[in-house]
Amino acid sequence: MARKKFLSLTAVAAAAALSLSACSPSATESSEESSSADGSKKGGSGESLTIGIKFDQPGLGFREGSNDPTGFDVEVARFVAKEMGVDEADITWVQTPSANRENALENGEVDMIFATYSITDERKERVAFAGPYFVAGQDLLVRADEEEITGPDSLDGKNLCSVTGSTSAQKIKDEYSQGVNLVEQGGYAECVTYLESGQVDAVTTDDIILAGLAGTEANKGKFKVVGDPFSVERYGVGLNKDNDTCQQINDAIQKMKDEGAWEEALKSNTEGTGYEADDELNSGADAEFESCD
Amino acid sequence: MESLTTLFEQYGSQIPVAFWMNIKLTVLAAIGSFVLGVVLALFRISPVASLRAVGTAYVHLVRNTPLTIIMLIGVLAVWGQLKITFADDFTLNFFIFAVISLSLYHAAFMCEAIRSGVNTVPQGQAEAARAIGLGFLPAARLVILPQALRGAITPIGNTLIALTKNTTVAAAASVAEASVLMKTMIEFRPDVMVAIFMTFAVGFCLIVIPIGLLTTWASDRLAVAR
């Protein structure tokens, strides 16, 4: 009897372990790697870094399984890490979904975040920002043969898709086209399938995210970014408030821009989408670095 | 404290609207799933083997499919690819999709709750109904179900509570309900994240606790004492 009970307990434990590891392949991996990262968890000039990125945004932060992550955010992060003296092999990539970014920084889960993280005053209450390393603007993605939609005010009677929990679609309805129909989905991938099947006429969010979506292997040539940004989103590097790396990161970003590596990274990640980063936004006052005090 | 004041200035008027959406979803899906659940329960206790098989198959298939999947099949496949729409108005269209998905899903649980009520009715009742010449449907309508439903109030109440909370899944079908608003608020006001979370937790408690109290009270009063 006692033996039987023990067996069933082990079975339960094994099942639990299995289901846990099945849910988070990246978690197990990062815990293996973090043993080496522990020494420099606080950030700084140590030889390893834990960096938070998105795993589900092609062209910005994208990772399949345990492959090397790709995207513009990732390339900027790699450059900055290199400037801080951290080898690429010593970077631990962690997924930081939008709602989790402040918590991850506050409790030291990650040293820095490169995840389409717009600098806002509300967020500055809890975290610090370096950068911005990119200035995006809200824009529209449409089918490649679309002629009618030229900007946010040509959407009356059209169907528009965006993701749950962002105000970008609502903003178009409130400020530009009152007659637009809104659909909100869990992710941009769903929006893109609707755009392809014809159930929606446009997808809206930051222009570089749209360009990344349009540039994936499966979508190449099907969609285009309208190219008329109508908001300013300054992507910063999220940091813990007690960081001592902010200035270092700003210097690294400046160096990346000066050397031309920044533009190269941007080009290679948005190739074939007809997208060009808005020069006005990215060289004007909006692109000026946050002070690191 | 000041940040809390600005939070409620910003979103305060939207919170009741969002919760009202959950309540509408709950009420309509409760009616839909109850009707379908009764039909399924009749299938499962009927003397016809093929109907029993249909009822059993439905319950097992739907009960073991995650609600999110059902919701996404509705929106991604039926609307997105097959292009079937229920209303010209976009918002109403997605609301209908959400109500249908919630009804289909919870009907399986309603069916089982009602069937558990049927099990509280003694065999003799059915035999007596048949002895006075009632067929299956009249017997079910006049003798079995009235007693069974009274006995099933508590499990039906449990299903209703689950349904209330599951209305948040309607976010997957583009319905602007409470969880969507919570997500928006957290995205833009991370400085008061805990307060936002508590607001919505309390909101759901205010909806769900009365359902529990009501069904317990109704069950005490109405269940057939044996």
What average pLDDT is seen over chain A?
A: 81
Can you give the CATH number for the domain in which B27 is found?
Answer: 1.10.3720.10
> Is B70's Cβ below 8 Å from some Cβ in A?
no
Q: Which residue, A235, A179, A170, is CA-closest to A204? A: A170
CB contact (8 A) between residue A120 and residue B83 = no
Measured between CA atoms, how close is A90 to chain B, in angstroms?
A: 30
**Domain spanning A138-225, CATH architecture:** 3-Layer(aba) Sandwich (3.40)
Q: What is the mean pLDDT of residues B62-66?
A: 95
Collapsing DSSP to helix, strand or coil, A130 comes out as strand
Residue A189 is predicted with a pLDDT of 84
Q: What is the pLDDT of residue A34?
A: 41
For A10-49, b where at least 16 C-beta lie within 10 A, e where not — what string? Answer: eeeeeeeeeeeeeeeeeeeebeebeeebeebbebeebebb
**Residue A222 and residue A179 in contact, taking contact as beta carbons nearer than 8 Å:** no
Band of the pLDDT at B70, cuts 50, 70, 90? very high
Q: Cβ separation of B81 and A197 shorter than 8 Å?
A: yes
Check residue B193 and give its pLDDT.
Answer: 87
User: What is the pTM assigned to this prediction?
Assistant: 0.77
| Two tokens, residue B89 | 């108005």
What mean pLDDT comes out for the span B41-58?
95
Q: Which domain holds residue B118?
A: 2-222
**B101-129 pLDDT, tens digit each:** 999 999 999 999 999 999 999 999 999 99
Q: Which residue of B has its CA nearest to A186?
A: B172
The answer to whether A99 contacts B3, with C-beta atoms less than 8 Å apart, is no
H-helix or E-strand containing B39?
helix B14-45
| CATH class (in words) of the domain with range A37-136+233-284 | alpha beta
Which residues 181-220 of chain B have a CB within 8 Å of chain A? Answer: 183-184, 186-191, 193
Tokens representing A18 are 């299995």
**Interface residue ranges in chain A relative to chain B, Cβ cutoff 8 Å:** 98-99, 101-103, 120, 122-123, 125-126, 159, 164-167, 181-186, 190, 193-194, 197-199
Nearest to B80 among A125, A167, A199 (CB): A199
Nearest CA in chain A to B68: A186
The rounded distance, in Å, linking the Cα atoms of A251 and A230 is 29
- List the domain boundaries for chain A: 37-136+233-284, 138-225
The yes-or-no answer to whether A37-136+233-284 and A138-225 have a common fold is yes
Is the Cβ pair B90, A183 closer than 8 Å? Answer: yes
Residues of A in contact with B83 (CB under 8 A): 197-199
Cβ contact, residue pair B80, A102, below 8 Å: no
**Per-residue confidence at A46, pLDDT binned at 50, 70, 90?**
low
**Nearest residue in A to B84, CA atom:** A199
Domains contained in chain B, number: 1
Sign, CA torsion B164/B196/A240/A278 = positive
Give the model's pLDDT for residue B203.
94
Rounded to an integer, what distance in angstroms lies between the CA atom of residue B176 and that of residue A165? 10
Say if the Cβ atoms of A184 and B174 lie within 8 Å: yes
